[in-house]
Amino acid sequence: MRAAVLRALGELPRCEDVQEPLLDEGEEVVHVTACPLTNLDRDRAAGTHFAAPAVLPAVCGSALAAGRLPDGTRVLFRSPGGTMAERAATRRAWCLPIPDGLDDALAAAVQNPGVAAWNALKWRAELRPGESVLVLGATGVAGQIAVQLAKHLGAGKVVAAGRNPRVLAALPALGADATVRLDQSDDALRHDLRDAAGGEDFDVVLDYLWGRPTEVFVSTLGFADMELRFSRTRLVQIGAMATPALRLPAQVLRSSGLEIMGSGTGNAPPPEVLARELGQTLDLLADGRLRMEIERVPLARVRHVWNLDQQGRRTVLIP
């Protein structure tokens, strides 16, 4: 069968012939129909992610993919052996049915950004109805989903910050109350972030970028006096598209209510919560209350599209 194979960290995966998946006790073969290409896949293959593959060659694909079980059930499934292949090994316990009428490729594409946004908003930040949310990196696939889910989960005001003008202009239709351009001077960005906050600190910040945009945001916080106050801004670190490290002045943590936490594998909710979040995300997508753009690409072209900036669209590989 054909699969996207990584032979060395830092190289581009190639579509190659590989052995059929070997099944352990309790596993069955799933025929893969759609597999998203995420930044996690890119970072792991580049060797820059903490969970880069330890054994090579390896079949790529770490997000859930869509496929058909031997009895014909359409599912999103997990496969530790990699999902970017014509077939993969899975277990029923690792599968979630795809709702009728929902396209396989869309279902596969929404899982990673959908559950990530849900986890960050509800599980980590514990968003309450009416609270304000800033999304740093709102023009990415994950950021666009986060803007929509923040509104769905009852956020009062959602401010979307990004660079891509086409996507930024489309965000109000997805629920953003205001947009902020990140590609401007630090002073202008600081001014626009303060303006969008409307004289109060954001309650929740979803951060897909880190580095310079986050540093500028953090510099908008803090009171320059000795009054005793209580405030809380829960900044959830989700991705590091700008820079992997941050300069954080100590005084910001004393003069503001900034609380920084991450959202990822080390602090995930229990499996039943994840399954519920994913099920609700799929339902929202199926009835059109959640929108995302995807681009279907044949698996054979994996090498050519691996590092392509899809400008707010998710590449989905079709075996």
Ligand X SMILES: NC(=O)c1ccc[n+]([C@@H]2O[C@H](COP(=O)([O-])OP(=O)(O)OC[C@H]3O[C@@H](n4cnc5c(N)ncnc54)[C@H](OP(=O)(O)O)[C@@H]3O)[C@@H](O)[C@H]2O)c1
CA angle 32, 286, 142 (to 5 degrees): 75
Q: How far is the CB of 311 from ligand X (least distance, A)?
A: 6
Q: How far is the CB of 112 from ligand X (least distance, A)?
A: 5
Question: For residues 247 and 211, what is the distance between their CA atoms, to the nearest angstrom?
Answer: 8
Q: How far is the CB of 207 from ligand X (least distance, A)?
A: 9
Query: Residue 98 or 145: which CB sits closer to ligand X?
Result: 145
Structural contact between residues 95 and 121, judged by C-beta atoms closer than 8 angstroms:
no
In sequence order, which residues have a C-beta less than 8 Å from that of residue 216 and are 6 or more positions away? 186, 189, 190, 193
Question: For residues 315 and 54, what is the distance between their CA atoms, to the nearest angstrom?
Answer: 25
Query: Residue 164 or 255: which CB sits closer to ligand X?
Result: 164
Query: Residue 66 or 168: which CB sits closer to ligand X?
Result: 168
User: What percent of the residues of the chain are helix, what percent strand, and what percent coil, each to the nearest 5?
Assistant: 35, 25, 45
Token couple for 178: 């205001």
Query: Residue 231 or 267: which CB sits closer to ligand X?
Result: 267
Query: Which candidate, 104, 103, 65, places its Cα nearest to that of 83?
Result: 65
Which residues are near ligand X by CB under 6 A? 38-40, 112-113, 116, 137, 139-143, 162-164, 182, 208-209, 213, 238-242, 263-264, 311
Query: Residue 75 or 216: which CB sits closer to ligand X?
Result: 216
Question: For residues 319 and 31, what is the distance between their CA atoms, to the nearest angstrom?
Answer: 9
Query: Residue 10 or 26: which CB sits closer to ligand X?
Result: 10
Query: Which candidate, 2, 11, 64, 8, places its Cα nearest to that of 306?
Result: 11
Question: For residues 314 and 319, what is the distance between their CA atoms, to the nearest angstrom?
Answer: 16
